[in-house]
Amino acid sequence: MDGSLFALIRGRIADPDADFLVEADGTRLSYGGMLDRSGRLANLFVRLGVRPGDRIAIQAEKSAWALIVYLATLRVGAVHLPLNPAYTPAEVRYFLGDAEPALFVCRPGQEAEMRALAAELGVPRVETLGADGGGSLAAAALEQPAEFDDAPRDADDLAAILYTSGTTGRSKGAMLTHRNLASNAETLRIAWRFTAADRLLHALPIFHTHGLFVATNVSLLAGGSMLFLPGFDLDAILRLLPHATAMMGVPTYYTRLLARPDFTRELAAHMRLFVSGSAPLSAETHREFEARTDHRILERYGMTETNMICSNPYDGPRIPGSVGRALPGVAVRIAAPESGRVLPEGEVGIIEVRGPNIFKGYWRMPEKTAEEFRPDGHFITGDMAWMDEAGYVRIVGRARDLVISGGLNVYPAEVEAAIEELPGVAECAVIGVPHPDFGEGVVAVVTARPGEPTPDEANIRAALRDRLAAFKQPKRVFLIDALPRNTMGKIQKNALRERYAETFTP
């Protein structure tokens, strides 16, 4: 049987006239239109020499056409390789050299530079795609016929390679198969009750698993539509919210919405679902959002390599500060980091996971891949967590963000949650930096909540005295304007560790 993700998507199209996506200016693309455009582009890809299994790399602004590139890539049986538009040419050089794509789609403004780079690296074809659909790619596609025979694929063939943001060492290409993507999208569609009646507010980037796979594939498998914004734009979101039924975002989307007085209960009243992921949603934000809107944000957890792993339930308790339970068909366990021994309930260890959602390995890095799997096939996520008796998982931080102070483990999430409950604190990040006595000293970096008295170091430290054991209490607290974050809203703790590296060891 054909294991191609696109075959599954195609099978779900009940009404070709139904909306597939609607852009911010009201431009509509129906499912029939999506088939037409992706068919033309697939024909172009074949003419350009793309064969099944080849990589097609794209570094472009988010647009309907950029999404069509993904779908046409699936239709020709090639491997989608999206690159963050923020990557510099030096970074792009690494990705193109590593992935050796048959075709690179870049932005018109960078054409000359990227052509030179491609020529040097032996990438045979370069086409351009602008934010508005301009450039060579869409124009050439529109001259091709719309009919296209989709390439059949085995479920274990690659559908995409996504390079991980990799804050340490070289960025790794996570190889995702048709089965990985199809199984996870289907699981989420059912878990979150997506149907053809849904209209998803889509403001996430489409070079990352969240916006590309979670949001888009779930919508496609439900036969629903998307309100497709080129980026996160609060005014546009507030304007379009009344036309949506569901929204997926990173936690900062929700904190920014809450900062707007015109984000009201009435505006969200008709919504069916708000989903958060890609970074921890603080319990504070969860509660504030509920107080404001009556909606309990549904938090889920996953990563590029694994697709989605855990989710709070659609029906049933959505617990603030928890990422919920293992999704159906996904096995999750908490293990001792070194030995891999499975730990009892309530003990903190590393999250290990197995299932049809887990990637095939890192592109051309068999040794790195082998290091991250246990002999029984569980993938070692690198996230530290504990699980309660009901199976709800609480993430306490990345293993590499764990602070070891005086030989004792300090889990940043616990300290961050305690600080975020204090008056005047908006957000907090806890890091460990070199300390002459303790090895690492706990440092908290906080931002102030507008309209409330500015928190100060002495008050925060005093308030924590009877809330946290002494070894967990920050030895220093710094107030800054904003925490450094990447595009997915993840706090860049590396940057903070560098900035505060000499706090105790001048």
Residues contributing to the site for ligand AMP (CB under 6 A): 164-165, 209, 277-280, 299, 301-304, 323, 381, 383, 395, 398, 488
The sign one gets for the Cα dihedral 113, 115, 116, 118 is positive
Least separation in angstroms between residue 208's CB and ligand AMP is 6
Phi, psi values for residue 208, rounded to 5° = -125, 155
The sign one gets for the Cα dihedral 114, 117, 119, 125 is negative
Which is closer to ligand AMP, CB of 91 or CB of 111? 91
Which is closer to ligand AMP, CB of 35 or CB of 395? 395
Which is closer to ligand AMP, CB of 19 or CB of 416? 416
Least separation in angstroms between residue 316's CB and ligand AMP is 17
| 217: DSSP letter | I
DSSP helix/strand/coil, 201: strand
Q: In the structure encoding, which two tokens stand for residue 85, read together?
A: 């538009």
The sign one gets for the Cα dihedral 227, 197, 302, 429 is positive
List strands edge to edge, sheet with 173-177: 125-128, 103-106, 55-58, 79-82, 158-163, 173-177, 361-362
Least separation in angstroms between residue 390's CB and ligand AMP is 18
Q: What is the 3-state secondary structure (H, E, C) of 368-400?
A: HHHHCECCCCCEEEEEEEEECCCCCEEEEEEHH
Which is closer to ligand AMP, CB of 46 or CB of 257? 257
Least separation in angstroms between residue 433's CB and ligand AMP is 20
CA 236 to chain centre: 21
Least separation in angstroms between residue 262's CB and ligand AMP is 27
Which is closer to ligand AMP, CB of 192 or CB of 301? 301
Least separation in angstroms between residue 50's CB and ligand AMP is 27
Which is closer to ligand AMP, CB of 324 or CB of 424? 324
Which is closer to ligand AMP, CB of 77 or CB of 173? 173
Element (H, E) at 506: none
Which is closer to ligand AMP, CB of 360 or CB of 476? 360
| 210: DSSP letter | I
Which is closer to ligand AMP, CB of 43 or CB of 255? 255
Distance CA 130, CA 149 (A): 27
Least separation in angstroms between residue 416's CB and ligand AMP is 11
Least separation in angstroms between residue 397's CB and ligand AMP is 8
Least separation in angstroms between residue 381's CB and ligand AMP is 6
Which is closer to ligand AMP, CB of 126 or CB of 488? 488
DSSP helix/strand/coil, 321: coil
N-term to C-term CA, the chain: 64
CA distances in angstroms from 167 to 163, 398, 402, 486, listed in the order given: 12, 12, 15, 11
Task: State the angle between helix axes of 251-258 and 283-293 in degrees (0 to 180), rounded to the nearest 10.
Answer: 50
Q: In the structure encoding, which two tokens stand for residue 56, read together?
A: 């097609």
CA atoms within 13 A on the CB side of 199: 18
Least separation in angstroms between residue 429's CB and ligand AMP is 13
List strands edge to edge, sheet with 19-23: 28-30, 19-23, 225-228, 199-202, 246-249, 273-276, 298-303, 307-311, 325-326
Least separation in angstroms between residue 42's CB and ligand AMP is 28
Which is closer to ligand AMP, CB of 184 or CB of 381? 381
Please list, in sequence order, all residues whose beta carbon lies within 8 angstroms of the beta carbon of residue 91, skipping any fewer than 6 positions away. 171
